Homo-oligomer: A and B are copies of this chain.
Amino acid sequence: MLTVLTVFEVQQRILNSLNSTRTEVETIPASTSMGRAAAEVITAPEMVPSFARSTMDGYAVRSADTFGASESIPALLKLKGSVLMGEEPPGVLEPGEAMQIPTGGMIPSGSDSVVMVEYSEILGDQAAIYRPVAPFENLIRVGDDFQKGDIVIPAGRLIRSQDVGILSALGFLKLKVYSKPRVIIFSTGDEIILPQEEPRSGQIRDINGSSLAAQVTESGGEPEYRGIFPDQEEGLKKAVLESLDDADLILISGGSSVGERDVAVKVIDALPGGGVFFHGVSMRPGKPVIYGMSGGKPVFGLSGNPVSALFSFLLFARPILRTMQGLPPFPPFIPFVEALLDTNLSSPGGREDYVRVSLHQEPNGEDIVLARPVFGGAGLLSTMVKGDGYFVIPRDVEGIAEGSPIKVFLF
């Protein structure tokens, strides 16, 4: 019999089984680190910026010299040369002086603010300032971005383009990251053939091998597809045993029938140093998921149904891959599309229902998005191909009324 746990219980049990296992740390060029998770804390080795910079074209001044300045009574300051981009200023700014400065130019010592060129005028060797500026106006101070020693990139940060930029700014050319988890994928089933083969009556081409591999890549892993095995314990067990050294995670798909399920359960249960932790979860699609371990390595038996396999992957295997890469198992904030359900929908209750929907802009409805369920069981991949995303009907809810607002997570 299947022991049926909730999605949340299964996720917790899986994460507890991992003990925060991480892959090995490797060092990669910072310029290619986007999408990887930092395996080290990057602190600012210096102040950023390391010198005060103007944010305007204008005149570096002492703000006190401009107090009270107006259109009718400008402050008249002695012009003292120009700051050139990338150069030190030509001298120290003394009281009563102004120095021409471009945006990005280094603020001279003695100056605490910049007057915009629009509010000034050159009169011979003097600058007439028509508006007062406050201290620190129109400049970036030393350390405004980061103070020396500040944490710039925390460990576990998923690197984005701005993070790549700040690493450049600090002169970090390399970054330590957790290596991509290696995921070995097996398909099983006497009826399954390779995509390049021509099916005879009763046979179908393998779907899960390629779609799971694509999901692994998307989730930051390195997939390796090891082909199709018949529903026979010995062959599959041998192949899985041989893969243990090369894999951080193993996915076996197939086995939606009772007989096949038994093969996957038996194989996983017979692996050294572990065995089946549980099988079955109260969700649809995806109920018949099997989870076990061997020598600390997680092994999944996923349904042969392509929709079940993908949802099981998203909910249960992706959090493992994230953990192994040093990320939190679930993103702290998950964006969604707000939509209105365009029909009444019943759900069996007692299990979480992952309903695939297509999205439609209401023709004259301003920004209203309608979600239309794509009907069909877990065996129909078309429900995901035609769908834009999914929403979740909780276990204790038996139906959702037409027009209800729902949160749609895009595929």
Indicate if the CB atoms of B84 and A205 lie closer than 8 Å: no
Q: A213 at interface (Cβ–Cβ under 8 A)? A: yes
What mask results when residues 112 to 147 of chain A are scored 1 for a CB within 8 Å of chain B, else 0? Answer: 000001000000000000000000000010001110
A171: which B residues are within 8 A, CB to CB? 195-198, 205
Q: Which of A7-15, A293-301, A378-386 contacts B (4 or more CB under 8 A)?
A: A378-386
Partner of A165, one of B87, B335, B337, B381: B381
Indicate if the CB atoms of A310 and B162 lie closer than 8 Å: yes
Q: A409 at interface (Cβ–Cβ under 8 A)? A: yes
Chain B residue nearest to A89 (CB atoms) is B202
Indicate if the CB atoms of A359 and B380 lie closer than 8 Å: no
Q: A343 at interface (Cβ–Cβ under 8 A)? A: no
Bound form: Cα–Cα A131–B343 in Å:
31
Q: A168 at interface (Cβ–Cβ under 8 A)? A: yes
Indicate if the CB atoms of A145 and B258 lie closer than 8 Å: no
Q: A94 at interface (Cβ–Cβ under 8 A)? A: no
Known contacts A102-B257, A361-B332: A165-B85 contact under CB 8 Å: no
A384: which B residues are within 8 A, CB to CB? 160, 162
Chain B nearest CB, measured from A375 CB (Å): 10
Copies held by the complex: 2
Q: A365 at interface (Cβ–Cβ under 8 A)? A: no
Indicate if the CB atoms of A104 and B189 lie closer than 8 Å: yes
Most chain B CB atoms below 10 A, which of A51, A83, A196, A207: A207
A411: which B residues are within 8 A, CB to CB? 160-162
Bound form: Cα–Cα A381–B259 in Å:
58
Known contacts A49-B204, A162-B411, A256-B104: A192-B86 contact under CB 8 Å: yes
Indicate if the CB atoms of B169 and A205 lie closer than 8 Å: yes
Q: A398 at interface (Cβ–Cβ under 8 A)? A: no
Indicate if the CB atoms of B161 and A211 lie closer than 8 Å: yes
Q: A79 at interface (Cβ–Cβ under 8 A)? A: no
- Known pairs A161-B218, A168-B206, A335-B337 / 15 extra A-B pairs, C-beta < 8 Å: A31-B214, A49-B204, A55-B379, A85-B189, A102-B260, A106-B202, A162-B411, A165-B306, A166-B381, A166-B382, A168-B207, A168-B209, A333-B369, A335-B336, A336-B337
Which A residues are closer than 8 A to B by beta carbons? Answer: 30-31, 34-35, 48-51, 53, 55, 57, 83-89, 102-106, 117, 140, 144-146, 152-153, 160-173, 189-192, 195-215, 217-218, 231, 256-260, 304, 306, 310, 332-338, 359, 361, 369, 376-377, 379-382, 384-385, 388, 408-411
For the complex of A and B, 3 pairs with smallest distance between CB atoms: A165-B211, A86-B191, A335-B335
Please name 8 pairs of A and B residues whose Cβ atoms are closer than 8 Å in the assembled complex, sorted by A.
A31-B210, A51-B201, A53-B379, A162-B385, A164-B213, A165-B310, A168-B210, A169-B207
